[in-house]
Amino acid sequence: MKDDTTAENFHARRGGWNCQHQLYPVSEIGVPLHIREKFKNDVFNSRKQEYEKLKNNPDYNNVAINDKGGLKATHKDHIFQSKIGIFGVSRGTYEKNSVKALFNNGYKVYKR
């Protein structure tokens, strides 16, 4: 790959010198374990740095990280809707449950 290849330009460059490589998804099992582990470690370390910044930022509450790399934070001015939606449940409850599911599965979720 060219030295200046990044995650943002990888799709356009496909990592080579006009070699016409194709980019397509594969099952996780098709990726060697050492590469999967490196990716997970890189993501976790990056999220850990974000976590430390958010934890020390007075504008964010409920900052948390988990062992899957899930990261969540709520901006101090974020308002959860209390209006009752369908099935008699507040819309804020749906939002909180969605955030919990995403966080528990390793996603990054900021509520601003």
Cβ-based neighbours of 18, under 8 Å, separated by 6 or more: none
**pLDDT of 13-69, one tens digit each?**
665 666 667 777 888 889 899 988 888 888 888 899 999 999 999 999 999 999 888
- Rounded to the nearest 10 degrees, how much is the dihedral formed by the CA atoms of 94, 96, 98, 103? -170
Tell me if the pTM is above 0.85.
no
3-state percent helix, strand, coil for the chain, nearest multiple of 5: 40, 15, 45
Backbone angles phi, psi at 111, to 5 degrees: -110, 115
